[in-house]
């Protein structure tokens, strides 16, 4: 082995050690996956992190989407640069229990186009996962790139023993991608907690009429075919879009919109699976039962 290769090997080993050390202090790692883009994966990851933090958990939100990091926009952190201390990335303290880091906070400008060559991309992913000084966390919520390609694969391999949730819309085209995501989880050893159906119908705030724009029942059908838990169904809500665009996704404790209630139900379900916490009732199963009886 020549000296350049030896140096590379040493660097890679040091990074692997960093990843291991950084993740040792995190109780639950939850990867948010989707078969394809545009189904609301980042929105779900952000609101999961916020809702978990509101429930008193210490939460880190990590956006590993190198090509389209959207968490800074969703949380109003665009243009905010992360600090470095001794070569370690300091996450941004967004709320009392919520720290955040996104590739968007490490780039110079919000519109910087980054063309990642293969090895550099993998190095950036490893640094994002191992290089952040999170401290002790109850949950690390990872907004993973969509699909089942090299990037989500590297992330899954770097976080062994992680859990995953898959986000889909009720459309058949998204649901066929869910099957691929489930196969991906099985292959890479991710522990799949369940499926989240997003953009699940629209209820007119004026007249209360419900329109199932993307179809209906697809989430239940797919969950039952694949023996998955349906963690919840989040309706289309113009408040979600407005909140995301303004960087204030405050589906807070006190908000009573159907979307906020659905997010809380998803978090209850995730907590009941992971923490086996009797105080967080498994409303996902109640939801699935209700759907069966409809």
**Cα–Cα distance for residue pair 66/144, rounded to 1 Å:** 9
CB 258 within 8 A of CB 235: yes
Should residue 73 be labelled a site residue for ligand ADP when binding is judged by CB under 6 A? no
Residue closer to ligand ADP by CB (options 58, 174) is 174
Choosing from 50, 54, 64, 70, the residue that interacts with ligand ADP (CB under 6 A) is 70
Residue closest to 202 by CA, chosen among 269, 265, 257, 284: 257
Q: What are the residues whose beta carbons fall under 8 Å from the beta carbon of 204, sequence distance 6 or more?
A: 210, 211
Residue closer to ligand ADP by CB (options 130, 232) is 232
Would you give the distance in Å from CA 79 to the centre of its chain?
Answer: 22
Choosing from 122, 234, 288, 291, the residue that interacts with ligand ADP (CB under 6 A) is 234
Chain position whose Cβ is nearest to ligand ADP: 40
Should residue 148 be labelled a site residue for ligand ADP when binding is judged by CB under 6 A? no
Q: What are the residues whose beta carbons fall under 8 Å from the beta carbon of 278, sequence distance 6 or more?
A: none
> What is the DSSP track for 215-257?
-SSHHHHHHHHTT--EEEEEEE-HHHHHHHHHT-----TT--S
Should residue 38 be labelled a site residue for ligand ADP when binding is judged by CB under 6 A? yes
Choosing from 244, 269, 272, 288, the residue that interacts with ligand ADP (CB under 6 A) is 244
Which residues inside 169-208 make contact with ligand ADP, applying CB under 6 A? Answer: 198-199
Choosing from 18, 63, 220, 237, the residue that interacts with ligand ADP (CB under 6 A) is 237
Choosing from 23, 29, 42, 182, the residue that interacts with ligand ADP (CB under 6 A) is 42
CB 130 within 8 A of CB 160: no
**Cα–Cα distance for residue pair 235/213, rounded to 1 Å:** 10
Choosing from 37, 76, 215, 281, the residue that interacts with ligand ADP (CB under 6 A) is 37
Should residue 32 be labelled a site residue for ligand ADP when binding is judged by CB under 6 A? no
Residues forming the site for ligand ADP (CB under 6 A): 34, 37-43, 70, 198-199, 234, 236-237, 240-241, 244, 259
């Amino acid at each position: 082995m020549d000296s350049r290769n030896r140096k590379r090997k040493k660097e890679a080993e040091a990074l692997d050690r960093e990843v291991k050390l950084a993740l040792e202090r995190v109780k639950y790692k939850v990867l948010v996956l989707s078969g394809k883009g545009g189904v609301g994966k980042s929105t779900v990851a952000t609101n999961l992190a916020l809702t978990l933090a509101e429930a008193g958990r210490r939460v880190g939100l990590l956006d590993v989407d190198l090509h389209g990091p959207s968490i800074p926009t969703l949380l109003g952190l665009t243009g905010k640069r992360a600090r470095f201390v001794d070569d370690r990335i300091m996450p941004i303290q967004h709320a009392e229990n919520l720290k955040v880091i996104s590739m968007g906070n490490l780039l110079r400008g919000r519109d910087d186009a980054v063309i990642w060559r293969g090895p550099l991309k993998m190095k950036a992913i490893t640094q994002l996962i191992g290089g952040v000084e999170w401290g002790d966390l109850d949950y690390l919520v990872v907004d993973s790139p969509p699909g089942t390609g090299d990037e989500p694969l590297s992330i899954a391999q770097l976080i062994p023993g992680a859990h995953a949730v898959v986000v889909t819309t009720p459309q058949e085209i998204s649901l066929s991608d869910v099957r691929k995501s489930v196969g991906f989880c099985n292959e890479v050893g991710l522990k799949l907690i369940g499926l989240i159906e997003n953009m699940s119908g629209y209820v007119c705030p004026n007249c209360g009429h419900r329109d199932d724009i993307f179809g209906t029942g697809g989430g239940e059908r797919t969950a039952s075919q694949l023996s998955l838990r349906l963690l919840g169904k989040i309706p289309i809500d113009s408040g979600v879009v407005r909140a995301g665009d303004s960087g204030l996704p405050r589906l807070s404790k006190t908000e009573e919109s159907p979307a906020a209630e659905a997010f809380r139900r998803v978090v209850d379900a995730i907590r009941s699976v992971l923490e086996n916490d009797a105080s967080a009732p498994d409303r996902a199963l109640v939801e699935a039962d209700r759907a069966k009886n409809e």
